[in-house]
Amino acid sequence: MNRLFLVLDLSSALYVGLVAEARTLAARIRPQGTRGENAHALVDECLAEAGAGPGDLAGICVGIGPGSFTGIRVCGAMAQGLAFSKRLPLYPFSSLAALETASPAGFEPVAAIAANAGRYYVRQRGSEAMLTTDALAALGSSSACLAVSGNLPDRDRLAGVFARIAALEDGADFARIAALALAGDAVTNGVLRPNYLAASAAEDKLRAGLLGKPETHP
């Protein structure tokens, strides 16, 4: 069998998929709020549909957030458990970066996952922060697509300022998400670093006017 990769994320909605040679062999998507333990059954369904077993996996692409704290923890623990016995590499990816794959060509993607208290985890041009609804709406334009997953409490308002709203659940491209993950560094020691996007760090970034500017590293 060609190199087979599992894609797994529970940061907003629950989605799992199997990808080989840039082709999605099987996928399952469940709405936000689906119990995390159902993910194991969905992985088994995907493997059966692809005619494969856990031993055929070459690695696991795992969403590390931001998003639901519980979903991030469950996803990480599940990926680590699946990888441990076979010593499989883990390929972490930003759950917000994965949302950007839902944006149609020709639009600037702005990815968002609803948090608590009227705030959103947001990614624009490679930078991530936690924003209020007002701040998210300010990013809207006639050329911007709001890429989302899970609940969108302010849909009517946001639909009025963004050219389009695209939900990952309506057509997740697992091959693109896998490519995103595989382009990063593999984790071979089983230790994942969740991206909870702490509010304090986001507020610092907002005050400095850094949202939307590419990340720079020394």
What are the C-alpha distances in Å from 151 to residues 30, 78, 170? Answer: 12, 23, 13
User: Once rounded to an integer, what is the mean pLDDT over residues 56-69?
Assistant: 96
Q: Per residue in 38-55, pLDDT tens?
A: 889 999 999 999 999 999
Distance separating alpha carbons of residues 173 and 61, to the nearest angstrom:
13
At residue 1, the pLDDT reads: 55
CA dihedral sign, ordered 128, 100, 97, 171: positive
Q: What is the pTM of this model?
A: 0.88
Mean pLDDT of the region 95-100: 98
Q: Cα Rg for the chain, rounded, in angstroms?
A: 17
Instruction: Say what the pLDDT of residue 116 is.
Output: 87
Domain range summary for the chain, segments of one domain joined by +: 4-95+171-196, 97-168
Judge whether residue 200 has pLDDT over 50.
no
Q: Which residues is 122 bridged to in the sheet?
A: 112, 129
What is the DSSP code string of 118-167? TEEEEEETTEEEEEEHHHHHTT--TTEEEEE-S--TTHHHHHTTSSEEEE
pLDDT digits (tens, 9 = 90+) for 105-149: 999 999 999 998 899 999 999 999 999 999 999 999 999 999 999
CATH number 3.40.50.720 given to 4-95+171-196: no
